[in-house]
Chain A
């Protein structure tokens, strides 16, 4: 079982990394979700698999002979919630970026130019460059 899941994790990680390396930002986001799931499955497997024993403490406070470890689930739950928040923020960020910069292609996005460049008289005499192409010196 562990071996199977290990291959699954590897496959998901490969898919995720491949998608994250694509220039399109939506592909990047899907890649992040896939890679995040690979990480979650990895934590799950690292906490030992097994369906026979419950993660319960008995009423008198004593432990069963074999007991499942509930901590990996708690960790994964935290990671899922965080991943969900990040993905939600990412969608809005990419949407705003598309609106402002006119592209979702990360490679076509301009390098950081001077924050709010104030047009100086010198620049206006020379060929006026459109705002988007004003790339730093």
Chain B
């Protein structure tokens, strides 16, 4: 069996097994094993892609472009690996702090169906099939968002649901128009045909896709739904969302705007650069104004999506490598911070910043642990975030786009300010009231340590991941091998 389908089969099998075995104790173990197996299969896929080049599988033995194709290039494989890491960390956290009511309601099957959908979206080579995968992951995420029917969850869930529905319809319309004008749905096939369309029509289609995926990726001006919904569910759910869901939107943008709509970059990628700059600035300023930790992190999440779009907007090999590296690094860092927010909530019984405090005295190690992902998010050396920002800034200066580089560096500073404020509020400030510190938090630290050590490790030894990101960027800019892998050989 090709290693390409394993990252799809593993979460599907895990989800089905979890459905069959309804006992939460067994499900916890299954959930962790499933996440670990997913990570291993993702690494196997990455190895295969790195050794033998782009992999393609035609499902059902229909030759491309008629059947459904799954393709893995470096970008897809790297995203699947990072998703696997996030899944393992979240599964460890869920194992350490069991949420029995939600487990009974099906947390484990749903979260693995979510992973199934996410990996499908990363690996598919067919634009309509991508729409279907989006729906798979969206439906799982809708249910996860409101699982347990908390009031805040329902209020946030309604907004999330409504916005997602609208973006799905836009995506469908864009796919329909693309099909009507080219007669193709396979991405590789489309890549050879889109260039023949009139340029005005191309740009209109590109903007439809930008809005549809931009809503999913939560970029300016479509980010309002994310901070209204992500803080609501328990942290095992919101950390998974923060790490994976917006990155699917970013991945789709990276794919579509290099493979299909790179004919008129002065227009389409110019728009993306503006969107990136405004997302960066607004997200960073709004994060400074927040008083609740997870809401603050949600705005940071929005803001940093801007960095990934910045690389796409510049469309040079170095900039795209920076985008890919940033997306991978961000998946780890933001999940670590969300999990930390859950840990702090466990310790303090609140996540409103003014009511927290005093943790530096009682938990100095935890304070140090917080600083690792926080500094990585802000882009300080020697963490992975530094190399990501450094690459993007260097690419921007190379391309002469000084304004966006200025914005990027300013937002780095604002992020540092925001993280510093969180540190001062949560760790340094005298707590507003005395409260007993609950025990049992040590178990929750492990997944955060795992992610924090990874970001530090990538920062200290950035060369391998940077080389892989650059390879991914080369494949994005030179789509011929991708097209050949899909259309050339049919198995």
Contacts and interface: CB of A to CB of B under 8 A. Distances in A.
B180 A46 contact: yes
A43 B174 CA distance: 9
6 contacts: A71-B185, A78-B128, A97-B157, A109-B155, A117-B352, A137-B292
A93 B176 contact: no
Given A45-B180, A115-B232, A115-B351, A36 B169 contact: yes
A136 B172 contact: no
Interface in B228-247: 228-229, 231-234
Given A32-B165, A120-B433, A89 B179 contact: no
Contact of A47 (B180, B294, B345): B180
Interface string A89-123: 11001101100110000100111111111101110
Interface string A33-47: 001100100110111
Interface of B: 128, 132, 135, 139, 142-143, 146, 149-159, 161-162, 165-166, 168-169, 172-173, 175-177, 179-181, 185, 227-229, 231-234, 291-292, 294-295, 345, 349-355, 432-433, 435
Nearest to A92: B146
A116 B142 contact: no
A93 B432 contact: no
A56 B312 CA distance: 44
Contacts of B228: 111-112
Given A20-B162, A114-B152, A136-B291, 11 more contacts: A75-B175, A75-B179, A82-B132, A93-B157, A97-B158, A112-B231, A112-B295, A116-B150, A117-B350, A118-B350, A136-B352
8 residue pairs, one from A and one from B, having the closest CB atoms: A46-B180, A137-B291, A43-B176, A97-B154, A118-B349, A39-B172, A82-B135, A136-B292
Nearest to B351: A114
B139 A86 contact: yes
Chain A contact residues: helix, strand, loop or mixed: helix
Contacts of A78: 128, 132
A136 B292 CA distance: 7
Contacts of A118: 349-350
A26 interface: no
Given A35-B169, A46-B180, A122 B433 contact: yes
A101 B172 contact: no
**Which of B185, B231, B233, B354: most chain A CB closer than 10 A?**
B231
Contacts of A43: 172, 175-176, 179-180
Nearest to A104: B158
Given A93-B161, A97-B155, A101-B151, A20 B176 contact: no
Interface of A: 20, 25, 28, 32, 35-36, 39, 42-43, 45-47, 71-72, 75, 78-79, 82, 85-86, 89-90, 93-94, 96-97, 100-101, 106, 109-118, 120-122, 131-132, 136-137
Contacts, number: 137
Contacts of B295: 112, 136
A120 B355 contact: yes
Contacts of B153: 115
A118 to B, nearest CB: 4
A109 B459 CA distance: 43
A94 B158 contact: yes
A57 B352 CA distance: 66
Given A118-B349, A120-B350, A122-B432, A106 B162 contact: yes
Contacts of A75: 128, 175-176, 179
A79 B172 contact: yes
A45 to B, nearest CB: 7
Contacts of A117: 350, 352
Contacts of A116: 150, 152
Nearest to B149: A96
B162 to A, nearest CB: 6
A39 B166 CA distance: 11
A42 B176 contact: yes
Contacts of A82: 132, 135, 168
A97 B142 CA distance: 13
B313 to A, nearest CB: 28
Contacts of B432: 122
A12 B228 CA distance: 30
Nearest to A16: B169
A32 B181 contact: no
A114 B156 contact: no
A112 B154 contact: no
B82 to A, nearest CB: 27
Contacts of B173: 39, 42
Contacts of B142: 89, 93
A96 B146 contact: yes
Contact of B151 (A28, A93, A100, A106): A100
Nearest to A44: B176
Nearest to B298: A112
A43 B165 CA distance: 18
B139 to A, nearest CB: 7
Nearest to B348: A118
Given A75-B128, A109-B155, A137-B291, A93 B146 contact: yes
Contacts of B291: 136-137
A100 B148 CA distance: 12
